[in-house]
Structure 1
Amino acid sequence: MTATLAAVTAVTAESGIAPVPVAISSIGIAVAVFGATRMRAATPELVIDSHGVVIRLIGRIHWTEIDRVRVRTIDVGPKVLASRRLNTNLEIVLADPVSVISRMDRRARLLTALSPVAGWSRASVTASQVLPHTINDVIHDMRLYHPALRVET
Structure 2
Amino acid sequence: MKIMVPFGSIWLDADNNGLTAVSFHEIIGHQTNAFTEQAALELAEYFAGKRQAFTVPLSIQTGTPFQQNVWQALTMIPFGETRSYLEIAQAVHSPKAVRAIGQANSKNPLPIIIPCHRIIGKNGKLTGYLGSSEQDGLSIKQFLLELEKK
- Which has the larger share of helix? 1
- Computing the radius of gyration over CA atoms, which structure comes out larger, 1 or 2? 1
Structure possessing the higher relative contact order (Cα contacts under 8 Å, 6 or more residues apart): 1
Higher strand share: 1
What TM-score do the two structures reach when normalised by structure 1?
0.29
